[in-house]
Chain A
Protein backbone atom coordinates (compact mmCIF):
# COMPACT_ATOMS: atom_id res chain seq x y z
CA UNK A 1 0.00 0.00 0.00
CA UNK A 2 2.60 2.52 1.06
CA UNK A 3 4.82 1.74 -1.93
CA UNK A 4 1.96 2.21 -4.38
CA UNK A 5 0.96 5.41 -2.62
CA UNK A 6 4.48 6.81 -2.59
CA UNK A 7 5.00 5.98 -6.24
CA UNK A 8 1.60 7.45 -7.07
CA UNK A 9 2.52 10.69 -5.34
CA UNK A 10 5.92 10.90 -7.07
CA UNK A 11 4.46 10.12 -10.51
CA UNK A 12 1.70 12.64 -9.81
CA UNK A 13 4.33 15.26 -9.09
CA UNK A 14 6.22 14.43 -12.30
CA UNK A 15 3.06 14.75 -14.38
CA UNK A 16 2.17 18.07 -12.77
CA UNK A 17 5.69 19.36 -13.48
CA UNK A 18 5.42 18.15 -17.07
CA UNK A 19 2.13 19.98 -17.52
CA UNK A 20 3.73 23.20 -16.27
CA UNK A 21 6.67 22.58 -18.62
CA UNK A 22 4.36 22.21 -21.59
CA UNK A 23 2.64 25.49 -20.84
CA UNK A 24 6.07 27.13 -20.60
CA UNK A 25 7.08 25.49 -23.91
CA UNK A 26 4.20 27.20 -25.67
CA UNK A 27 5.45 30.56 -24.42
CA UNK A 28 9.10 29.99 -25.25
CA UNK A 29 10.80 31.69 -28.22
CA UNK A 30 13.26 29.63 -30.25
CA UNK A 31 16.25 31.65 -29.05
CA UNK A 32 19.08 30.79 -26.71
CA UNK A 33 18.43 33.78 -24.47
CA UNK A 34 14.87 32.67 -23.91
CA UNK A 35 15.79 29.01 -23.48
CA UNK A 36 18.55 29.76 -20.95
CA UNK A 37 17.30 32.87 -19.16
CA UNK A 38 13.57 33.10 -19.91
CA UNK A 39 14.55 36.32 -21.72
CA UNK A 40 15.49 37.95 -18.37
CA UNK A 41 11.89 38.38 -17.28
CA UNK A 42 11.55 36.55 -13.94
CA UNK A 43 9.45 38.27 -11.27
CA UNK A 44 10.12 38.38 -7.51
CA UNK A 45 8.27 35.25 -6.43
CA UNK A 46 9.56 33.14 -9.31
CA UNK A 47 13.17 34.39 -9.01
CA UNK A 48 13.18 33.92 -5.24
CA UNK A 49 11.79 30.41 -5.29
CA UNK A 50 13.68 29.17 -8.34
CA UNK A 51 16.96 30.25 -6.75
CA UNK A 52 15.83 28.71 -3.48
CA UNK A 53 14.80 25.35 -5.00
CA UNK A 54 17.90 25.21 -7.22
CA UNK A 55 20.19 25.88 -4.29
CA UNK A 56 18.62 23.29 -2.02
CA UNK A 57 19.25 19.80 -3.14
CA UNK A 58 18.37 16.63 -1.30
CA UNK A 59 20.92 17.71 1.32
CA UNK A 60 18.26 19.70 3.16
CA UNK A 61 16.09 16.62 3.57
CA UNK A 62 18.53 13.73 3.79
CA UNK A 63 22.20 14.40 4.52
CA UNK A 64 21.63 17.56 6.60
CA UNK A 65 19.16 16.05 9.09
CA UNK A 66 21.38 12.93 9.24
CA UNK A 67 24.32 15.05 10.38
CA UNK A 68 22.11 16.87 12.89
CA UNK A 69 20.99 13.47 14.18
CA UNK A 70 24.57 12.29 14.63
CA UNK A 71 26.35 15.50 15.65
CA UNK A 72 23.81 18.07 16.82
CA UNK A 73 21.89 20.90 15.15
CA UNK A 74 24.75 23.41 14.67
CA UNK A 75 24.46 22.81 10.91
CA UNK A 76 21.55 25.26 11.03
CA UNK A 77 24.08 28.00 11.83
CA UNK A 78 26.38 26.95 8.99
CA UNK A 79 23.47 26.89 6.52
CA UNK A 80 22.11 30.23 7.75
CA UNK A 81 25.50 31.93 7.50
CA UNK A 82 26.45 30.50 4.11
CA UNK A 83 23.14 30.51 2.28
CA UNK A 84 21.20 33.13 4.17
CA UNK A 85 23.81 35.86 4.60
CA UNK A 86 27.04 35.24 2.63
CA UNK A 87 25.16 34.17 -0.49
CA UNK A 88 22.73 37.08 -0.16
CA UNK A 89 25.60 39.57 0.02
CA UNK A 90 27.20 37.92 -3.03
CA UNK A 91 23.83 38.17 -4.75
CA UNK A 92 24.31 41.93 -4.53
CA UNK A 93 28.07 42.20 -4.99
CA UNK A 94 28.44 39.71 -7.86
CA UNK A 95 24.85 39.16 -8.92
CA UNK A 96 23.63 42.72 -9.29
CA UNK A 97 26.72 43.75 -11.25
CA UNK A 98 26.37 40.66 -13.42
CA UNK A 99 22.71 41.48 -14.01
CA UNK A 100 23.56 45.03 -15.14
CA UNK A 101 26.32 43.78 -17.44
CA UNK A 102 24.18 40.95 -18.81
CA UNK A 103 21.39 43.37 -19.59
CA UNK A 104 23.69 45.81 -21.27
CA UNK A 105 25.84 43.47 -23.31
CA UNK A 106 23.56 40.44 -23.65
CA UNK A 107 25.71 37.97 -21.69
CA UNK A 108 24.22 34.57 -20.97
CA UNK A 109 27.12 32.83 -19.22
CA UNK A 110 29.85 33.79 -16.76
CA UNK A 111 32.55 32.80 -19.26
CA UNK A 112 31.03 35.10 -21.86
CA UNK A 113 31.11 38.01 -19.43
CA UNK A 114 34.76 37.45 -18.51
CA UNK A 115 35.91 36.51 -22.02
CA UNK A 116 34.48 39.72 -23.45
CA UNK A 117 36.13 41.97 -20.85
CA UNK A 118 39.53 40.31 -21.21
CA UNK A 119 39.30 39.82 -24.98
CA UNK A 120 40.07 36.15 -24.59
CA UNK A 121 38.43 33.05 -25.98
CA UNK A 122 40.90 31.00 -23.95
CA UNK A 123 39.72 32.48 -20.65
CA UNK A 124 36.14 31.91 -21.69
CA UNK A 125 36.86 28.27 -22.48
CA UNK A 126 38.83 27.91 -19.23
CA UNK A 127 35.92 29.13 -17.09
CA UNK A 128 33.50 26.88 -18.98
CA UNK A 129 35.87 23.92 -18.77
CA UNK A 130 36.45 24.31 -15.02
CA UNK A 131 32.70 24.70 -14.45
CA UNK A 132 31.85 21.61 -16.50
CA UNK A 133 34.56 19.62 -14.69
CA UNK A 134 32.77 20.20 -11.37
CA UNK A 135 29.24 20.23 -12.74
CA UNK A 136 29.22 16.91 -14.55
CA UNK A 137 29.96 14.65 -11.53
CA UNK A 138 27.56 16.71 -9.46
CA UNK A 139 24.75 15.95 -11.91
CA UNK A 140 25.78 12.32 -11.72
CA UNK A 141 25.53 12.39 -7.92
CA UNK A 142 21.93 13.58 -8.18
CA UNK A 143 21.09 10.65 -10.45
CA UNK A 144 22.79 8.25 -8.05
CA UNK A 145 20.78 9.81 -5.21
CA UNK A 146 17.50 9.53 -7.10
CA UNK A 147 18.20 5.93 -8.14
CA UNK A 148 19.09 4.91 -4.58
CA UNK A 149 16.09 6.71 -3.08
CA UNK A 150 13.64 5.16 -5.55
CA UNK A 151 15.10 1.70 -4.97
CA UNK A 152 14.81 2.09 -1.18
CA UNK A 153 11.34 3.58 -1.44
CA UNK A 154 9.95 0.74 -3.55
CA UNK A 155 11.87 -1.89 -1.59
CA UNK A 156 13.68 -2.99 -4.74
CA UNK A 157 10.65 -3.15 -7.03
CA UNK A 158 12.30 -0.41 -9.10
CA UNK A 159 16.01 -1.18 -9.46
CA UNK A 160 18.70 1.46 -8.98
CA UNK A 161 19.39 1.58 -12.73
CA UNK A 162 15.71 1.82 -13.64
CA UNK A 163 15.15 4.55 -11.04
CA UNK A 164 18.12 6.63 -12.20
CA UNK A 165 17.06 6.02 -15.82
CA UNK A 166 13.50 7.12 -15.16
CA UNK A 167 14.64 10.36 -13.55
CA UNK A 168 17.13 10.99 -16.37
CA UNK A 169 14.53 10.43 -19.09
CA UNK A 170 12.11 12.71 -17.33
CA UNK A 171 14.70 15.45 -16.89
CA UNK A 172 15.74 15.30 -20.55
CA UNK A 173 12.16 15.55 -21.72
CA UNK A 174 11.50 18.32 -19.31
CA UNK A 175 14.56 20.50 -19.84
CA UNK A 176 14.53 20.13 -23.63
CA UNK A 177 10.87 21.11 -23.79
CA UNK A 178 10.54 23.70 -21.09
CA UNK A 179 13.85 25.56 -20.82
CA UNK A 180 14.41 28.11 -18.07
CA UNK A 181 10.85 29.35 -17.93
CA UNK A 182 9.38 25.92 -17.22
CA UNK A 183 12.11 25.07 -14.73
CA UNK A 184 11.59 28.35 -12.89
CA UNK A 185 7.85 27.82 -12.70
CA UNK A 186 8.07 24.28 -11.32
CA UNK A 187 10.78 25.43 -8.91
CA UNK A 188 8.37 28.02 -7.58
CA UNK A 189 5.70 25.42 -6.99
CA UNK A 190 8.26 23.19 -5.41
CA UNK A 191 9.95 25.76 -3.19
CA UNK A 192 6.61 26.69 -1.68
CA UNK A 193 5.70 23.02 -1.35
CA UNK A 194 8.95 22.22 0.51
CA UNK A 195 8.47 25.10 2.89
CA UNK A 196 4.89 24.17 3.77
CA UNK A 197 5.44 20.41 4.10
CA UNK A 198 8.54 20.80 6.31
CA UNK A 199 6.68 23.06 8.72
CA UNK A 200 3.64 20.79 8.79
CA UNK A 201 5.99 17.84 9.40
CA UNK A 202 7.67 19.66 12.29
CA UNK A 203 4.39 20.67 13.92
CA UNK A 204 2.94 17.22 13.41
CA UNK A 205 5.88 15.43 15.03
CA UNK A 206 6.06 17.96 17.88
CA UNK A 207 2.34 17.56 18.55
CA UNK A 208 2.85 13.80 18.82
CA UNK A 209 5.79 14.00 21.21
CA UNK A 210 4.53 16.83 23.42
CA UNK A 211 6.17 19.95 22.05
CA UNK A 212 9.64 21.39 21.54
CA UNK A 213 10.30 21.54 25.30
CA UNK A 214 9.74 17.81 25.74
CA UNK A 215 11.83 16.98 22.66
CA UNK A 216 14.73 19.09 23.91
CA UNK A 217 14.45 17.61 27.42
CA UNK A 218 14.73 14.16 25.90
CA UNK A 219 17.97 15.29 24.26
CA UNK A 220 19.31 16.72 27.51
CA UNK A 221 18.34 13.62 29.50
CA UNK A 222 20.63 11.27 27.59
CA UNK A 223 24.34 11.52 28.22
CA UNK A 224 25.12 10.88 24.58
CA UNK A 225 23.00 13.68 23.21
CA UNK A 226 23.21 16.29 26.00
CA UNK A 227 26.20 17.85 24.22
CA UNK A 228 23.92 18.65 21.24
CA UNK A 229 22.49 21.58 23.16
CA UNK A 230 25.75 23.37 23.81
CA UNK A 231 27.16 25.36 20.92
CA UNK A 232 30.24 23.76 19.33
CA UNK A 233 31.81 20.31 19.66
CA UNK A 234 34.80 18.32 18.45
CA UNK A 235 32.99 17.99 15.14
CA UNK A 236 31.70 21.57 14.96
CA UNK A 237 34.88 23.56 15.52
CA UNK A 238 34.91 27.27 14.82
CA UNK A 239 37.40 26.87 11.93
CA UNK A 240 35.42 24.06 10.37
CA UNK A 241 32.13 25.95 10.62
CA UNK A 242 33.63 29.09 9.08
CA UNK A 243 35.54 27.18 6.37
CA UNK A 244 32.41 25.30 5.38
CA UNK A 245 30.13 28.32 5.38
CA UNK A 246 32.56 30.48 3.41
CA UNK A 247 33.57 27.92 0.77
CA UNK A 248 30.04 26.71 0.15
CA UNK A 249 28.60 30.24 0.22
CA UNK A 250 31.09 31.44 -2.42
CA UNK A 251 30.88 28.12 -4.30
CA UNK A 252 27.13 28.42 -4.65
CA UNK A 253 27.48 31.84 -6.28
CA UNK A 254 29.76 30.32 -8.95
CA UNK A 255 27.65 27.21 -9.51
CA UNK A 256 26.48 27.66 -13.13
CA UNK A 257 22.80 27.03 -12.43
CA UNK A 258 22.78 29.55 -9.56
CA UNK A 259 25.11 32.04 -11.23
CA UNK A 260 22.93 32.17 -14.35
CA UNK A 261 19.96 33.16 -12.23
CA UNK A 262 21.88 36.38 -11.54
CA UNK A 263 21.14 37.27 -15.18
CA UNK A 264 17.48 36.32 -15.21
CA UNK A 265 15.72 38.93 -13.04
CA UNK A 266 13.07 41.02 -14.76
CA UNK A 267 13.93 44.31 -13.04
CA UNK A 268 15.90 46.01 -10.31
CA UNK A 269 12.87 45.92 -8.02
CA UNK A 270 12.70 42.14 -8.36
CA UNK A 271 16.34 41.87 -7.28
CA UNK A 272 15.85 44.20 -4.31
CA UNK A 273 12.85 42.33 -2.98
CA UNK A 274 14.41 38.89 -3.43
CA UNK A 275 17.58 40.06 -1.68
CA UNK A 276 15.69 41.33 1.36
CA UNK A 277 13.48 38.27 1.73
CA UNK A 278 16.31 35.76 1.30
CA UNK A 279 17.66 35.29 4.90
CA UNK A 280 14.16 34.77 6.30
CA UNK A 281 13.28 32.25 3.61
CA UNK A 282 16.45 30.26 4.32
CA UNK A 283 16.02 30.07 8.08
CA UNK A 284 12.37 29.12 7.63
CA UNK A 285 13.38 25.96 5.79
CA UNK A 286 16.57 24.98 7.59
CA UNK A 287 15.25 25.31 11.12
CA UNK A 288 12.48 22.68 10.91
CA UNK A 289 14.32 20.12 8.77
CA UNK A 290 17.55 20.17 10.81
CA UNK A 291 15.79 20.33 14.20
CA UNK A 292 13.69 17.31 13.23
CA UNK A 293 16.95 15.43 12.62
CA UNK A 294 18.47 16.58 15.92
CA UNK A 295 15.37 15.90 18.02
CA UNK A 296 15.13 12.40 16.54
CA UNK A 297 18.34 11.55 18.42
CA UNK A 298 16.52 11.93 21.73
CA UNK A 299 13.46 9.97 20.62
CA UNK A 300 12.90 6.30 20.33
CA UNK A 301 13.94 6.17 16.70
CA UNK A 302 16.55 3.84 15.31
CA UNK A 303 18.17 4.70 12.02
CA UNK A 304 19.84 1.78 10.25
CA UNK A 305 23.37 2.16 8.89
CA UNK A 306 23.23 4.27 5.73
CA UNK A 307 19.55 5.10 6.27
CA UNK A 308 18.01 8.57 6.31
CA UNK A 309 16.58 9.89 9.55
CA UNK A 310 13.84 12.16 8.26
CA UNK A 311 11.72 9.53 6.43
CA UNK A 312 12.00 7.26 9.50
CA UNK A 313 10.82 9.98 11.90
CA UNK A 314 7.95 10.83 9.57
CA UNK A 315 6.96 7.19 9.18
CA UNK A 316 6.94 6.88 12.98
CA UNK A 317 4.89 9.96 13.83
CA UNK A 318 2.83 10.95 10.78
CA UNK A 319 0.40 9.11 8.45
CA UNK A 320 1.85 7.24 5.46
CA UNK A 321 0.41 9.61 2.88
CA UNK A 322 2.05 12.60 4.54
CA UNK A 323 5.45 10.95 4.85
CA UNK A 324 5.19 10.02 1.16
CA UNK A 325 4.38 13.61 0.29
CA UNK A 326 7.52 14.90 2.03
CA UNK A 327 9.67 12.24 0.33
CA UNK A 328 8.16 13.22 -3.02
CA UNK A 329 9.21 16.77 -2.15
CA UNK A 330 12.75 15.60 -1.46
CA UNK A 331 12.92 13.71 -4.75
CA UNK A 332 11.64 16.78 -6.50
CA UNK A 333 14.31 18.85 -4.74
CA UNK A 334 16.91 16.60 -6.25
CA UNK A 335 15.44 16.94 -9.71
CA UNK A 336 14.89 20.68 -9.54
CA UNK A 337 18.58 21.10 -8.83
CA UNK A 338 19.73 18.76 -11.57
CA UNK A 339 17.42 20.01 -14.32
CA UNK A 340 18.82 23.50 -13.76
CA UNK A 341 22.34 22.07 -13.81
CA UNK A 342 21.69 20.37 -17.14
CA UNK A 343 20.39 23.56 -18.65
CA UNK A 344 23.38 25.57 -17.43
CA UNK A 345 25.86 22.88 -18.44
CA UNK A 346 24.35 23.01 -21.90
CA UNK A 347 24.70 26.79 -22.08
CA UNK A 348 28.36 26.74 -20.98
CA UNK A 349 29.18 24.05 -23.50
CA UNK A 350 27.27 25.57 -26.41
CA UNK A 351 28.12 29.25 -25.88
CA UNK A 352 31.63 29.11 -24.48
CA UNK A 353 33.16 26.01 -26.06
CA UNK A 354 31.19 25.05 -29.17
CA UNK A 355 30.31 28.43 -30.69
CA UNK A 356 33.78 30.03 -30.38
CA UNK A 357 35.41 26.88 -31.79
CA UNK A 358 33.08 26.83 -34.78
CA UNK A 359 33.62 30.57 -35.25
CA UNK A 360 37.35 29.95 -35.49
CA UNK A 361 36.67 27.72 -38.48
CA UNK A 362 34.47 30.37 -39.98
CA UNK A 363 31.09 28.88 -39.10
CA UNK A 364 28.62 31.30 -37.58
CA UNK A 365 25.60 29.79 -35.87
CA UNK A 366 22.12 31.14 -36.41
CA UNK A 367 19.96 31.54 -33.29
CA UNK A 368 17.86 28.60 -34.37
CA UNK A 369 20.81 26.29 -34.91
CA UNK A 370 22.29 27.29 -31.58
CA UNK A 371 18.98 26.57 -29.90
CA UNK A 372 18.94 23.13 -31.52
CA UNK A 373 22.52 22.40 -30.42
CA UNK A 374 21.69 23.56 -26.87
CA UNK A 375 18.84 21.09 -26.62
CA UNK A 376 20.90 18.26 -28.12
CA UNK A 377 23.68 18.93 -25.60
CA UNK A 378 21.15 18.51 -22.77
CA UNK A 379 20.37 15.02 -24.08
CA UNK A 380 24.04 14.08 -24.50
CA UNK A 381 25.03 15.48 -21.10
CA UNK A 382 22.22 13.78 -19.18
CA UNK A 383 22.81 10.46 -20.91
CA UNK A 384 26.55 10.59 -20.26
CA UNK A 385 25.97 11.38 -16.58
CA UNK A 386 23.49 8.50 -16.40
CA UNK A 387 26.02 6.06 -17.87
CA UNK A 388 28.62 7.35 -15.39
CA UNK A 389 26.18 6.87 -12.51
CA UNK A 390 25.78 3.21 -13.53
CA UNK A 391 29.54 2.68 -13.62
CA UNK A 392 30.06 4.39 -10.23
CA UNK A 393 33.59 5.69 -10.88
CA UNK A 394 35.25 6.66 -7.60
CA UNK A 395 37.07 9.68 -9.01
CA UNK A 396 33.84 11.23 -10.21
CA UNK A 397 32.33 10.75 -6.77
CA UNK A 398 35.22 12.60 -5.19
CA UNK A 399 34.86 15.42 -7.70
CA UNK A 400 31.12 15.63 -7.10
CA UNK A 401 31.55 15.80 -3.35
CA UNK A 402 34.17 18.50 -3.72
CA UNK A 403 32.20 20.53 -6.26
CA UNK A 404 31.24 23.40 -3.93
CA UNK A 405 34.82 24.12 -2.94
CA UNK A 406 35.88 23.64 -6.57
CA UNK A 407 33.46 26.34 -7.70
CA UNK A 408 34.43 28.53 -4.76
CA UNK A 409 37.97 28.74 -6.23
CA UNK A 410 36.50 30.80 -9.09
CA UNK A 411 34.85 33.38 -6.85
CA UNK A 412 37.79 35.63 -5.92
CA UNK A 413 39.32 35.92 -9.41
CA UNK A 414 35.84 36.88 -10.68
CA UNK A 415 35.26 39.36 -7.84
CA UNK A 416 38.65 41.00 -8.39
CA UNK A 417 37.95 41.26 -12.13
CA UNK A 418 34.55 42.84 -11.52
CA UNK A 419 35.81 45.51 -9.12
CA UNK A 420 39.46 46.20 -9.84
CA UNK A 421 40.38 47.94 -13.09
CA UNK A 422 43.97 46.81 -12.99
CA UNK A 423 43.09 43.12 -13.28
CA UNK A 424 44.84 41.72 -16.35
CA UNK A 425 44.05 38.75 -18.53
CA UNK A 426 47.21 36.99 -17.35
CA UNK A 427 46.32 37.79 -13.73
CA UNK A 428 42.84 36.29 -13.75
CA UNK A 429 43.91 33.29 -15.85
CA UNK A 430 46.77 32.53 -13.46
CA UNK A 431 44.48 33.01 -10.43
CA UNK A 432 41.96 30.52 -11.79
CA UNK A 433 44.52 27.98 -12.99
CA UNK A 434 46.67 27.95 -9.87
CA UNK A 435 43.85 27.80 -7.32
CA UNK A 436 42.12 25.03 -9.31
CA UNK A 437 45.36 23.08 -9.62
CA UNK A 438 46.05 23.46 -5.90
CA UNK A 439 42.57 22.34 -4.91
CA UNK A 440 42.53 19.36 -7.29
CA UNK A 441 45.97 18.35 -6.00
CA UNK A 442 44.71 18.49 -2.40
CA UNK A 443 41.98 16.04 -3.40
CA UNK A 444 44.08 13.55 -5.32
CA UNK A 445 47.68 13.78 -4.09
CA UNK A 446 48.68 12.77 -0.59
CA UNK A 447 51.58 15.24 -0.43
CA UNK A 448 49.21 18.21 -0.60
CA UNK A 449 47.40 18.34 2.77
CA UNK A 450 43.62 18.67 2.94
CA UNK A 451 43.63 20.89 6.01
CA UNK A 452 45.80 23.67 7.42
CA UNK A 453 45.49 24.29 11.20
CA UNK A 454 41.82 23.36 11.00
CA UNK A 455 41.13 25.39 7.84
CA UNK A 456 40.15 23.36 4.79
CA UNK A 457 42.12 23.21 1.53
CA UNK A 458 39.05 24.79 -0.11
CA UNK A 459 39.40 28.03 1.82
CA UNK A 460 43.20 28.07 1.55
CA UNK A 461 42.83 27.67 -2.24
CA UNK A 462 40.42 30.60 -2.34
CA UNK A 463 43.01 32.78 -0.60
CA UNK A 464 45.64 31.56 -3.05
CA UNK A 465 43.39 32.45 -6.01
CA UNK A 466 42.95 35.97 -4.61
CA UNK A 467 46.65 36.54 -3.99
CA UNK A 468 47.73 35.14 -7.37
CA UNK A 469 45.14 37.15 -9.31
CA UNK A 470 46.18 40.41 -7.65
CA UNK A 471 49.92 39.75 -7.68
CA UNK A 472 50.12 38.62 -11.31
CA UNK A 473 47.90 41.51 -12.41
CA UNK A 474 50.26 43.95 -10.69
CA UNK A 475 53.33 42.66 -12.51
CA UNK A 476 51.77 42.22 -15.97
CA UNK A 477 50.42 44.77 -18.42
CA UNK A 478 46.99 44.47 -19.98
CA UNK A 479 46.82 42.89 -23.43
CA UNK A 480 45.96 45.23 -26.29
CA UNK A 481 42.53 43.73 -26.90
CA UNK A 482 41.33 43.87 -23.27
CA UNK A 483 38.34 46.15 -22.72
CA UNK A 484 39.21 47.49 -19.32
CA UNK A 485 36.38 49.96 -19.02
CA UNK A 486 33.34 47.83 -19.74
CA UNK A 487 32.79 46.77 -16.13
CA UNK A 488 33.03 50.34 -14.88
CA UNK A 489 31.63 52.85 -17.34
CA UNK A 490 28.06 53.74 -18.13
CA UNK A 491 26.78 50.83 -16.06
CA UNK A 492 23.17 51.30 -15.17
CA UNK A 493 22.78 54.30 -17.50
CA UNK A 494 21.31 52.19 -20.29
Chain B
Protein backbone atom coordinates (compact mmCIF):
# COMPACT_ATOMS: atom_id res chain seq x y z
CA UNK B 1 0.00 0.00 0.00
CA UNK B 2 2.73 2.38 1.08
CA UNK B 3 4.89 1.33 -1.86
CA UNK B 4 2.02 2.00 -4.28
CA UNK B 5 1.61 5.47 -2.82
CA UNK B 6 5.34 6.12 -3.18
CA UNK B 7 5.21 5.09 -6.83
CA UNK B 8 2.17 7.31 -7.36
CA UNK B 9 3.88 10.37 -5.91
CA UNK B 10 7.02 9.56 -7.89
CA UNK B 11 4.96 9.54 -11.08
CA UNK B 12 3.34 12.84 -10.11
CA UNK B 13 6.81 14.34 -9.61
CA UNK B 14 7.97 13.17 -13.03
CA UNK B 15 4.86 14.58 -14.73
CA UNK B 16 5.39 17.91 -12.93
CA UNK B 17 8.94 18.06 -14.30
CA UNK B 18 8.06 16.80 -17.76
CA UNK B 19 5.30 19.29 -18.52
CA UNK B 20 6.78 22.45 -16.96
CA UNK B 21 7.85 23.11 -20.54
CA UNK B 22 4.82 22.67 -22.85
CA UNK B 23 6.55 20.50 -25.47
CA UNK B 24 3.24 20.05 -27.32
CA UNK B 25 3.31 23.80 -28.12
CA UNK B 26 6.79 23.59 -29.69
CA UNK B 27 7.05 26.12 -32.54
CA UNK B 28 3.68 27.66 -31.59
CA UNK B 29 3.54 31.47 -31.46
CA UNK B 30 -0.06 32.07 -30.35
CA UNK B 31 -0.30 35.19 -28.20
CA UNK B 32 -2.98 35.44 -25.52
CA UNK B 33 -3.46 38.67 -23.55
CA UNK B 34 -0.01 39.99 -24.39
CA UNK B 35 1.99 36.86 -23.56
CA UNK B 36 2.79 33.77 -25.64
CA UNK B 37 0.42 30.90 -24.88
CA UNK B 38 3.36 28.66 -23.90
CA UNK B 39 4.34 31.16 -21.22
CA UNK B 40 0.80 31.19 -19.79
CA UNK B 41 0.95 27.41 -19.64
CA UNK B 42 4.22 27.58 -17.69
CA UNK B 43 2.88 30.15 -15.23
CA UNK B 44 -0.23 28.05 -14.64
CA UNK B 45 1.88 24.92 -14.30
CA UNK B 46 4.06 26.48 -11.61
CA UNK B 47 0.90 27.40 -9.70
CA UNK B 48 -0.30 23.82 -10.07
CA UNK B 49 3.11 22.55 -8.87
CA UNK B 50 2.78 24.63 -5.70
CA UNK B 51 -0.70 23.22 -5.09
CA UNK B 52 0.52 19.64 -5.64
CA UNK B 53 3.54 20.21 -3.34
CA UNK B 54 1.19 21.55 -0.69
CA UNK B 55 -1.06 18.50 -1.00
CA UNK B 56 1.99 16.25 -0.78
CA UNK B 57 3.26 18.05 2.31
CA UNK B 58 -0.13 17.61 4.00
CA UNK B 59 -0.82 14.00 3.04
CA UNK B 60 2.39 12.13 2.36
CA UNK B 61 5.35 14.04 3.82
CA UNK B 62 8.04 11.62 4.97
CA UNK B 63 7.13 8.92 2.47
CA UNK B 64 10.19 7.10 1.20
CA UNK B 65 12.36 8.70 3.90
CA UNK B 66 11.04 8.04 7.40
CA UNK B 67 11.04 4.29 8.01
CA UNK B 68 8.29 4.69 10.61
CA UNK B 69 5.92 5.72 7.86
CA UNK B 70 6.38 2.55 5.84
CA UNK B 71 4.08 0.68 8.19
CA UNK B 72 1.27 3.13 7.45
CA UNK B 73 0.38 3.52 11.10
CA UNK B 74 -1.06 6.97 11.53
CA UNK B 75 -0.62 6.88 15.30
CA UNK B 76 3.09 6.29 15.03
CA UNK B 77 3.29 9.05 12.50
CA UNK B 78 1.63 11.46 14.84
CA UNK B 79 3.99 10.88 17.73
CA UNK B 80 6.94 10.88 15.39
CA UNK B 81 5.93 14.21 13.94
CA UNK B 82 5.51 15.82 17.30
CA UNK B 83 8.85 14.57 18.58
CA UNK B 84 10.44 16.08 15.48
CA UNK B 85 8.70 19.40 15.79
CA UNK B 86 9.86 19.81 19.33
CA UNK B 87 12.93 17.62 19.10
CA UNK B 88 14.77 17.54 22.39
CA UNK B 89 18.22 18.40 21.22
CA UNK B 90 19.90 17.46 24.45
CA UNK B 91 18.82 13.83 24.11
CA UNK B 92 20.43 13.56 20.69
CA UNK B 93 23.28 11.08 20.47
CA UNK B 94 26.77 12.44 19.96
CA UNK B 95 28.06 13.00 16.45
CA UNK B 96 28.61 9.74 14.71
CA UNK B 97 25.64 7.96 16.20
CA UNK B 98 25.44 4.35 17.25
CA UNK B 99 27.13 1.61 15.43
CA UNK B 100 24.56 -0.73 13.93
Contact = CB atoms under 8 A, between A and B. Distances in A.
Contact of B22 (A231, A278, A419, A494): A231
A423 B39 CA distance: 42
Contacts of A104: 92-93, 97
A373 B66 CA distance: 36
A86 B17 contact: yes
Interface string B28-60: 110101111011001101110110011011100
B4 interface: no
A273 B58 CA distance: 10
B94 interface: yes
B27 A231 contact: yes
Given A105-B96, A116-B97, A230-B29, A492 B21 contact: no
Given A80-B42, A214-B34, A276-B57, 14 more contacts: A84-B49, A85-B20, A100-B66, A105-B97, A216-B36, A268-B61, A268-B81, A268-B84, A268-B85, A278-B53, A419-B64, A492-B68, A492-B69, A494-B92
Interface in A260-280: 267-269, 272-273, 275-280
A226 B27 CA distance: 12
A103 B86 CA distance: 12
16 contacts: A86-B17, A92-B56, A103-B84, A103-B87, A105-B96, A106-B92, A212-B33, A215-B34, A216-B34, A232-B27, A280-B47, A283-B43, A484-B100, A492-B66, A492-B67, A494-B87
Interface string B4-28: 0000000001001100111101111
Interface string B60-100: 01101111110000000000110111011001111111011
A81 B49 CA distance: 10
Contacts of B88: 494
Given A103-B87, A486-B97, A229 B49 contact: no
A490 interface: yes
A241 B16 CA distance: 16
B21 A77 contact: yes
Given A106-B94, A494-B88, A231 B100 contact: no
Interface in A177-226: 211-216, 220, 226
A437 B56 CA distance: 38
B26 A212 contact: no
B95 A229 contact: no
Interface size class of A (residues with CB under 8 A): 35 or more
Nearest to B94: A106
B20 A492 contact: no
Interface in A463-479: none
A491 B97 CA distance: 12
A391 interface: no
A279 B50 CA distance: 6
Interface of B: 13, 16-17, 20-23, 25-29, 31, 33-36, 38-39, 42-43, 45-47, 49-50, 53-54, 56-58, 61-62, 64-69, 80-81, 83-85, 87-88, 91-97, 99-100
Listed residue (A238, A272, A488) with the most chain B CB atoms within 10 angstroms of its CB: A272
Contacts of A107: 95
Interface in A65-89: 73, 76-77, 80-81, 84-86, 88-89
A282 interface: yes
Contacts of A85: 16-17, 20, 46, 49
Interface of A: 73, 76-77, 80-81, 84-86, 88-89, 92-93, 96-97, 100, 103-107, 116, 211-216, 220, 226, 229-232, 238, 241, 267-269, 272-273, 275-280, 282-283, 287, 291, 419, 483-486, 488-494
Contacts of B16: 85, 89
A493 B80 contact: yes
Contacts of A213: 33-34
Contacts of A89: 13, 16-17
B80 to A, nearest CB: 5
B20 A100 contact: no
Nearest to B77: A492
B65 A97 contact: yes
A76 B92 contact: no
Contacts of B66: 100, 491-493
A100 B92 CA distance: 12
B33 to A, nearest CB: 7
Given A213-B34, A484-B100, A490-B67, A241 B21 contact: yes
A490 B19 CA distance: 36
Contacts of B95: 105-107, 116
A483 B46 contact: no
Listed residue (B58, B80, B88, B97) with the most chain A CB atoms within 10 angstroms of its CB: B97
Contacts of B17: 81, 85-86, 89
A491 B67 contact: yes
Nearest to A104: B92
A491 B65 contact: yes
A232 B26 CA distance: 6
A493 B54 CA distance: 23
Contact of B53 (A211, A267, A275, A492): A275
Nearest to B91: A494
